[in-house]
Homo-oligomer: A and B are copies of this chain.
Amino acid sequence: VIGVGAFARLAQVSVRTLHHYDEVGLLRPAHVDADTGYRWYTAEQLHRLNRVLALRDLGFPLAEIRDIVDDRVSLDELRGMLRLRRAESRERVAAETERLARVEARLRQIEMEDRPPEYDVVVKRVEPALVAARDGTAPSFGDPIGPLLGRLYAEVHDELARLGVGVTGPEIALYDDTGGAGTPIRVTAAVPVDDPGPFAGASGAVALRDLTGIGRAASTIHRGPMARVGDGYQALLLWTEATGERIEGLGREVYLECSGPQDTWVTELQLALAPRREA
């Protein structure tokens, strides 16, 4: 029978921790003085505490630890809990390893460029959307694509106005350059819409389409004229290189703000990433 201080020193935990374990019923003292409230522990309880600490070291929450040390879980259940813990732990290792890669990429970048980065890359999901779309073809990325896109969007909006269909989000442009260098680029001008009803009677080049979502997209925000959007794409490419990510499929632009002069435009650039490599 020893006091809480000595017991804590023996087990290398804080007195507060023992108070807490008493509170949540994880380790009740062998005896509590009715008058003073002093807690008294036995050597036998050090065994229980050791079991608790061993499970805590494995990452189990206290509630589960209580079930285990109180023998409320069968051997099979314990096995299951351990497998779950293993999966969680692996997930954490993977996530933190990727995070570390991003930190290191950022650090290398800042040391190379010697100034804070202008583009911040975020990995996000892109939800699927229902769009009215019009396809076109541009000779290459070298030529300005703006006028072409402008014509395509004009057609889409004309058609939407004619059908009386409502727009539900900013315009989206899709690029498909999988043909290789020198080949023409397929460009799509898309506008999110909500109600597909009136399209039943639609005809012509403007068509309703289910725009697929992207599980993991590298995204960044470009501010300013589209003539300099290349800076943004370059930042995205450098980022994928530095973090070891791989690009998959086509790129998208979302025109978040394009009402005033191009100096004030805000565009989101998205590149689809290959699924996460598992450890």
Contacts of A127 in B (CB 8 A): 9
Alpha-carbon distance between A6 and B107 when the two chains are bound, in angstroms: 33
| Count, chain A residues at interface, CB 8 A | 62
Contacts of A86 in B (CB 8 A): 100, 103-104, 107
A114 at the interface (CB under 8 A from B): yes
Q: Which of A118-132 contact B (CB under 8 A)?
A: 120-127
The reply to whether A46 and B256 form a contact with Cβ atoms under 8 Å apart is: yes
The reply to whether A78 and B44 form a contact with Cβ atoms under 8 Å apart is: no
Contacts of A114 in B (CB 8 A): 75
A234 at the interface (CB under 8 A from B): no
Q: Mark A67-84, 1 if CB is under 8 A from B, else 0.
A: 000000001001100110
A190 at the interface (CB under 8 A from B): no
The reply to whether B50 and A115 form a contact with Cβ atoms under 8 Å apart is: no
A18-26, A203-211, A216-224: which lies at the interface: A216-224
How far, in Å, is A140 (CB) from chain B's closest CB?
29
How far, in Å, is A212 (CB) from chain B's closest CB?
16
Contacts of A75 in B (CB 8 A): 110, 114-116
Q: Mark A177-191, 1 if CB is under 8 A from B, else 0.
A: 000000000000000
Q: Can you identify 25 A-B contacts, CB atoms within 8 angstroms?
A: A6-B169, A9-B127, A12-B126, A43-B256, A44-B223, A46-B221, A47-B221, A47-B223, A50-B120, A50-B122, A50-B221, A51-B120, A53-B120, A54-B121, A55-B120, A57-B99, A57-B102, A58-B103, A59-B103, A75-B116, A86-B100, A86-B103, A86-B107, A89-B103, A93-B97
